[in-house]
Structures are given as C-alpha cells and as structure tokens.
C-alpha cells in the first residue's frame, strides 16, 4: 500500500498489499480500516493511519473477485474464484458464514442494511442471499452472463449489471424483472456504481467513457472521459464526486457538472479498483503489481476558463 498526500505530492508510506494483482479495495464505514483483495494473498485488513496489517483472512484459496463491508463495519463479505462467498467477522478475521453458489462469483455487493448479498455469477443468473443464513432469496438475469460489473441501488430496489454482450442491464431483484437494457455502449461496460441517494448510477467501459444515468427513466444525463480503459468507479459518500481508475491513475470529477477536480497518477499504468473513504477525505486504488495507493483528496483545482 502507498499513502500519498496529494497536496505535497510526496510519498508518505509504502506497503505492498500482495505479490499479485489487487482486485478489490474497500474502506470500513469509519474510514479507519481498508481491506485489500488479491489473486495471490486473499484478503488483508490494514490500519489506514499507520499502514499496519491488522488481519489476514486465510480461508479463501482462489483469487478474490469482490469485497464489501457491512454498513456497521462489523462484517466483511468476499467472493473468490473457487465459486464461494464468505461473510467474515471484520474484528477477528473469523468466518461467520460460507455460501457456495453454483458458478464462479465475479462481483459482489452488500445491501444498505447489510442483511443481503448480491452476487454476479459467471454463466448463470445473479443471486441474492440472506447474509446470516446463506439462504438464496432470489435470482435475476438471463444466462449466460459474465457479470464483472454489478452495483446495487442503496435501497435494494434495482441492480445494474453488465449483461450479455457487455450491454447495460437494470434488474429489479424482488421479482427478477428486467427494467432496462441498453445496447453495448462503446465496447461495453466494465464497472458501475450508484450515487448514495440512488438517483443516478455511473458506468465506465473499455474506452474509459464515464456515463451518468438516471435511475428512474434510465436516460444518460452526463458523460465525461478518462484515458484508455475504466477499471474501477466509485461515488463519494455524499455523491458530490465521482472517481475513475483508468490507465493513468485516478481521476475525480464533480458529478453534477463533469468538472475534473483532481488527478492522482499511478505509474503502473494498469488495472485496479478504486474506493472513496466514507469521510470523503481519501481515495484508494489498487493495481496489478500488488500495490494499493491512498491519496488525500484535494479538490481545489480551479474551474476551466
């Protein structure tokens, strides 16, 4: 992990999170801890301020494909390449539940109340589970799918996924109804995220075009562009800013205007996830070299003339 102060441009701390590719990063709700997920070393929990490794979650043997904290920060959900989903005690690194869906789970989301998990399953419908019992509550989507992009509405009323042929699809998980399908856009979508109020969602794809959509009529309301390819996307907790991880690093825009307010370079130049800290003060991103970088977010760039 690298921790940078974007105002000074100086390297504050370096910690290597993994010997392999970092596929997921997530902050705890109090912004004090960060979990990294990789294809070599599984899950690791870090103290953001000190950089100290707190726990190694050792159960999963395949590469980790998704990771998310529960809203109270006490539980941590993860999915791996062996087709398992685990719910962990985030304070002790113990497994609280293990789910074994049929098929590799490529993406994972947790409902806003923390009680349900949504997983995108390779070549099968997406699934919704009860977090505590592991009971399957429903499925949606028309297989075969390849849901690497998956985002759940804050109130759980809809889910955005990467559908067949990289198309954008919006589903209602309560009854498995397809609400909207958009033809493949600029070579398709790879990542998606809902705004905290659920009014909009954002997608990005192989050309790093960031699109913001209405979650009511599903019309595109704004578009701006990164560089190369979009690997990770995230809203800040208040919805004011939107971050994209592309081949140059991380770019942050003002979501309502599309004004670029911050750029944080990553010389590795290749894929990784991105996450905002819930307090809005930091942005984290991973890469294929096993490094997680945390930047102090500064958004004082003047508007373009």
Note the pLDDT of residue 13.
Answer: 52
Helices (H) then strands (E): counts for the chain: 0, 29
- Binning pLDDT at 50, 70 and 90, where does residue 189 land? confident
Q: Please report which confidence band the pLDDT of residue 60 belongs to, taking 50, 70 and 90 as the band edges.
A: low
**Average pLDDT rounded to a whole number, residues 154-166:** 82
Does residue 202 or residue 166 have the better pLDDT?
Answer: 202
Q: What is the mean pLDDT of the chain?
A: 81
Which DSSP string do the residues of 10-56 spell out, in sequence order? EEEEE-B--SS-EEEEEE-TTSSEEEEEESSS-EEEEETTT--EEEE
What is the C-alpha to C-alpha distance for residues 29 and 34, in angstroms, rounded to an integer?
A: 10
DSSP at 244: E
Q: What is the pTM of this model?
A: 0.88
Cα 56 to Cα 70: distance, rounded to the nearest angstrom: 18
pLDDT beyond 90 at 234: yes
pLDDT score for 17: 59
Nearest-angstrom CA–CA distance, 32 and 214: 32
Inter-residue contact 272 to 229 (CB < 8 Å): no
Q: Given this model, what pLDDT does residue 219 score? A: 94
Q: What is the predicted pLDDT for the residue at 100?
A: 67
> Which runs of consecutive H residues, i.e. helices, occur in 199-292?
none
Give dist(CA 55, CA 46) in Å, integer. Answer: 7
Confidence of residue 79 (pLDDT cuts 50, 70, 90): confident
Burial of 10 (0-12, 13-18, 19+ CB in 10 A): exposed
Q: What is the pLDDT of residue 268?
A: 64
Decide: helix, strand or coil at residue 133.
coil
To 5 degrees, how large is the angle CA 127–CA 133–CA 139? 15
304 has pLDDT over 50: no
166: left (phi > 0), else alpha (psi -120 to 50), else beta? left
């Amino acid at each position: 992990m690298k921790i940078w102060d974007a105002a000074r441009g100086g390297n504050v701390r370096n910690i290597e999170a993994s010997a392999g590719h970092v596929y997921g990063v997530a902050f705890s709700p109090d912004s004090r801890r960060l979990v990294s997920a990789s294809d070599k070393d599984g899950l690791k929990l870090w103290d953001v301020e000190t950089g100290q490794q707190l726990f190694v979650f050792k159960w999963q043997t395949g590469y980790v494909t998704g990771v998310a904290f529960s809203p109270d920060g006490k539980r941590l959900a993860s999915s791996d390449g062996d087709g398992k989903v685990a719910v962990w005690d985030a304070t002790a690194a113990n497994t609280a539940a293990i789910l074994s869906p049929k098929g590799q789970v490529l993406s994972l989301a947790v409902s806003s109340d923390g009680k349900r998990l949504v997983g995108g399953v390779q070549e099968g419908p997406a699934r919704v589970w009860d977090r505590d019992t592991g009971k399957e509550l429903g499925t949606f989507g028309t297989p075969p799918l390849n849901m690497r992009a998956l985002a759940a509405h804050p109130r759980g009323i809809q889910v955005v996924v990467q559908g067949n042929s990289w198309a954008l699809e919006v589903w209602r998980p309560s009854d498995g109804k397809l609400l909207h399908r958009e033809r493949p856009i600029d070579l398709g979508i790879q990542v998606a995220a809902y705004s905290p109020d659920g009014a909009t969602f954002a997608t990005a794809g192989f050309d790093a075009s960031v699109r913001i959509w209405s979650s009511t009529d599903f019309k595109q309301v704004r578009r701006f562009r990164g560089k190369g390819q979009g690997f990770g996307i995230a809203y800040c907790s208040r919805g004011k800013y939107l971050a994209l991880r592309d081949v140059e690093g991380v770019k942050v825009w003002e979501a309502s205007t599309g004004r670029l307010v911050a750029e944080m370079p990553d010389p590795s130049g290749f894929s990784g996830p991105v996450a905002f800290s819930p307090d809005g003060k930091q942005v984290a991103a991973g890469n294929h070299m096993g490094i997680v970088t945390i930047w102090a977010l500064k958004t004082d760039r003047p508007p373009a003339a």
